Amino acid sequence: MARLPRLTVAGYPHHVIQRGNNRQAIVKTDADREVLLELLGENAKKHQVAINAYVLMDNHFHLLLTPETGEGVPLMMQAVGRRYVRYFNDLHQRTGTLWEGRYKSTLIQSDRYLLACMAYLDLNPVRAGLVGDPRQYVWSSHHHFVGQTNDRRVTPHSLYWSLGNTPFAREAAYTELVHAGLAADEQHAISLATLHGWALGDAGFVETLQKQTPRRISKARAGRPPSKK
């Protein structure tokens, strides 16, 4: 079966995952992590893509991106992928591919899933058993949203700003949101939609989005289509 083209539409948040080939490490040192994050920030700006949130793990990374154009995310990811592989292979004296094929992505209904997706990213190191609290993990945007650092790569989504009228109020509200965690069905929905490229939202959101792209954006129903009489 031919794979579907990636779903990318300007103005919508996109959850993106890029994994290492055969689950191998994509970073070996903190210097590697800094280079990768610098490339992400540089190319996001170049291709008019806002980085709303991110988390960098040893063998994969997650991004929450909002592009200004339909080509922004693919161009950004292509540029980062190529330049980082050259850097990584040269430095670590290796050859061949680094990535596990194409990056995975989905579009997100902002008011329903955006803050949940941010929490999903922040809690990734906790789920992996690396830390007990997301504030202990350096390589994510969580520190920016709870007021511990000012990350110039991050452009907060308007829904984050709506969490409070002051920085302290927003930071406290977001800390509590992440601390509350995600329900199992919500976590499953985010994972499934991203890995399969389906739009993540309610029926109305999917219907509205489908009118903007010829690409199928939800799972096809099983069985034969109903006959026309």
Query: Quick one: residue 101, left, alpha or beta (phi over 0 = left, psi -120 to 50 = alpha)?
Result: left
Closest to 47 (Cα-Cα) out of 18, 14, 20: 14
The pLDDT-based confidence of 221 (bands split at 50, 70, 90) is low
Question: What are the tens digits of pLDDT across the range 101-145?
Answer: 889 999 999 999 999 999 999 999 999 999 999 999 999 999 999
pTM of the entire structure? 0.91
- Give the pLDDT of residue 3: 60
- Give the pLDDT of residue 197: 86
**Whether the Cβ atoms of residue 191 and residue 183 lie closer than 8 Å to each other:** no
**Whether the Cβ atoms of residue 122 and residue 142 lie closer than 8 Å to each other:** yes
Dist. CA 177–CA 182, nearest whole Å: 9
CA angle 147, 152, 158 (to 5 degrees): 70
For residue 16, the cross-strand partners are 63, 105
What residue ranges do the domains of the chain occupy? 14-210
User: What CATH code would you report for 14-210?
Assistant: 3.30.70.1290
